[in-house]
Amino acid sequence: MVKKRTAARRRPQKRAAPRKRSKATAARARTRGSRGPIQLAKHALTIKFKTESELSEHLRGLSSLFRASEPSGLETAGPAESCLSLIQALEIVIAALAPKAFTPTEKLGETYLTSQERELFRARAVRGVTGQGCQIGDTSVPAEETTTHSNVVNAIRDNAHA
């Protein structure tokens, strides 16, 4: 048995040229390796590390294995770049709410008692958007009682177009 092993060592077999592996494939391979810092068994994941920065690096590496197209509540692809920046959208909503204060989680139903006031607020927001050289439809700016101030910022950011 010992002789056979020695012979095998002396006569190395022809190997195929190493294939170029993508970073994702390489990272996947690292996780499967049994001797690396990240070990993936059938129902267990083990990460070995010495420092917190090392652990952070391993976790980031693991995160990169998973594509955003996979269904998850963690991250989703964003909309195409808007005509407005987020800061501009925020400024428009702050100005539309004035003299009332912008509180991200406050509902418009708490800010305004009457539907007429909400309609006027919506019109001010639309005017703010057009004042920045962008366009937005009335109905693209939510102004219901349950709409929060930050909902309006996000809606303006998402729906404004050139």
Partner 1 sequence: MPSTVDLRALCAAMLVTLVAMPSAVHAQLPRITIDRMDARRAAGTIELTLGAKATDAQKKAMAEAQGWSVESIETATGAMRTLPVETVAIHPSDLALTLDLAPVEEEWLDTSTHTISVTLLRSANLARAVSAPTAAVPGGVAKRRFVAAPTVAAANVYFSGKITATDNTKPRYSVEARLKDDWEMPRNSGHLGYMAEVFADEATDADPDRISASATYRRVIDPRPRGLILHAQPIAGEFARKAPRTTTILTTAHVEHVLLPTTGSAKAKGAMVVFGGVEIGNNFANAIDKDNGSGFVTRVRVVANPFVILKPANGPFKTLKGSAFWDARFLANEEIDPGRPDARGLPTLTRRARHHLKVDLDLGLNDFVSLTIQHRYGYLPPVYKKVSPTISLSLTFKGKWT
- Residues 50-69 close enough to bind partner 1 by CB under 8 A: 52, 55-56, 59-60, 62-69
Binding to partner 1 by residue 46, rule CB under 8 A? no
In angstroms, the CA 55 to CA 75 distance is 22
Judged by CB under 8 A, the chain residues 75 through 94 that form the site for partner 1 are: 75-82, 85-87, 90, 94
Q: Does 162 bind partner 1 (CB under 8 A)?
A: no
* Nearest by Cα to 130 from 88, 98, 80, 101: 88
Cα gap 136→96, rounded to integer Å: 15
Which parts of 121-150 interact with partner 1 (CB under 8 A)? 121, 123-124, 126-127, 130, 137-142, 144-147, 150
Cβ neighbour number for residue 64 with a 10 Å cutoff: 12
Q: Residue 111 Cβ, how far from partner 1 at the closest point, in Å?
A: 7
